[in-house]
Amino acid sequence: MASVTLESIGKIYPGGVRAVEGVDLHIADGEFVVLVGPSGCGKSTTLRMVAGLEDISEGTLRIGDRVVNEVAARDRDVAMVFQNYALYPHLDVRRNLSFGLERRRRKLGLSRADIAGRVEKTATSLGIDSLLDRFPRQLSGGQRQRVAVGRALVRDPAVFLLDEPLSNLDARLRVETRAELRVLHRRLEATMLYVTHDQEEAMSLGDRLVVMHEGHVQQVGSPMDVYRCPVNRFVASFVGSPAMNMLEGGIVDGDRGPVFKVSSGGEITLPPIEHRGPAVLGLRPESIGFEPEATGRGPLVEIDAVERYGDRGDAWLRLVDGGGQERLVHRGSAVDLPAEGLRVRLGALEEGIHVFESGSNGRRLGPEPL
């Protein structure tokens, strides 16, 4: 396996579309890194430049110590798994797995027996050894997915590149295959670069996330670091589901430290933070609490709707003052959710409080993570 290093990588497509700019990233040998962001943010373009399927317009790409900007895809020792697995329909699973190796048998110095051995071993490790004689049309979606992964695996590449490989699977299978991928990664100690638009998938798979937006890297960090300390409003809103609640207002000095005054009314006590003046308060849904209407000082909300999912649930809240249109969401244990129609005041647990500069993608101003 090998490390992958991107230095100031950029991509301008013919015709002048700027897809990616200034990406700096070092993926350690054996690391599982996930590129995540909304559609069109440049994830696939970045991955395809690493794969050698797109020319690199700017910057330097290294696999291990070797600069590979000008190295052809087939000589980069990378294996790619795509969303549409692109199995050969007229070849059985065995031949689908062996095809790439057969074609390069001489160059790789492999005998037919070597290839057959590798195919068997890979199939066994993925639990598809009983399917070797079937054709793709005789497989379920999950099985096809495994064959596609197997085809990458059998090559024993330096780096695995995966572009939304689970998006054709139904929800349950996606979650199962996700766990299998983690297990596989641990066992192979493989270097993996994985692209998805699904933040939950990214959180569950990655050793580290690279959150992208409009062609730029916003934040790189472990899933929990990104969740606990998003660097700006974009990352804060993108990572986490339901999304972080945002309230406009400003910070003033209160009797016992800083207080956030919500524009539409009510206030929330903040942990220590230096900033004073206009700001945006971000509250994670699970950190919202409630106080009685008569005694609390928080913004007044009405419980519009409550959804229970068995163990947990969401309460949809409406700010009563200031037009009564703004919606917030609270997530809690299903048995503790407030009743629909109730009016209460909003409170917040310290660990879920974030303060951002005003503006649509303001930087995080604090507080220091706990």
Residues that bind ligand ADP (CB under 6 A): 13, 17, 19, 37, 39-45
Q: Three-state SS across the chain?
A: CCCEEEEEEEEECCCCCEEEEEEEEEECCCCEEEEECCCCCCHHHHHHHHHCCCCCCEEEEEECCEECCCCCHHHCCEEEECCCCCCCCCCCHHHHHHHHHHHCHHHHCCCHHHHHHHHHHHHHHHCCHHHCCCCHHHCCHHHHHHHHHHHHHCCCCCEEEEECCCCCCCHHHHHHHHHHHHHHHHHHCCCEEEEECCHHHHHHHCCEEEEEECCEEEEEECHHHHHHCCCEHHHHHHCCCCCCEEEEEEEEEECCEEEEEECCCCEEECCCCCCCEEEEEEECHHHEEEECCCCCCCCEEEEEEEEECCCEEEEEEEECCCCCCCEEEEEEEHHHCCCCCCEEEEEECHHHEEEECCCCCCEEEECCCC
In the complex, minimum distance from the CB of residue 108 to ligand ADP, in angstroms, rounded to a whole number: 31
d(CA 219, CA 200): 16
Tokens of 83: 């969303």
Question: Residue 233 carries which side chain, given as an amino acid letter?
Answer: R
Name which of 45 and 264 has its Cβ closer to ligand ADP: 45
Q: Is 219 or 264 the residue whose CB approaches ligand ADP more closely? A: 219
CA 323 to chain centre: 35
Residue 169 CB, nearest distance to ligand ADP (Å)?
A: 19
Specify the residue, 53 or 71, whose C-beta has the smaller distance to ligand ADP: 53
Nearer to ligand ADP, 206 or 282 (CB): 206
To ligand ADP, the closest distance from the beta carbon of 46 in angstroms equals 7
To the nearest whole angstrom, how small is the minimum distance from the Cβ of residue 329 to ligand ADP? Answer: 26
Q: Which is nearer to ligand ADP, 43 or 233 (CB)?
A: 43
Q: Which is nearer to ligand ADP, 159 or 195 (CB)?
A: 195
- Least separation in angstroms between CB 37 and ligand ADP: 6
Between residues 45 and 245, which has the closer beta carbon with respect to ligand ADP? 45
- Single-letter residue type at 186: R
Phi, psi dihedral angles at 283 (to 5 degrees): -125, 120
Q: Per DSSP, what are the bridge partners of residue 315?
A: 306, 330
Nearest to ligand ADP of 44, 287 (CB atom): 44
Closer CB to ligand ADP, 13 or 88, in the complex: 13
Smallest distance, ligand ADP to C-beta of residue 156, A: 27
Report, in Å, the least distance between residue 39 CB and ligand ADP. 4
Q: Which residue's CB is nearer to ligand ADP, number 83 or number 361?
A: 83
**CB 274, CB 354: distance < 8 Å:** no
Dihedral class, residue 37 (left if φ above 0, else alpha if ψ from -120 to 50, else beta): left
57 within 8 A of 252, measured Cβ to Cβ = no
Least distance CB 223 / ligand ADP (angstroms):
19
Please state the closest distance from residue 322 (CB atom) to ligand ADP, in A: 36
CB of 71 to ligand ADP, least distance (A): 21
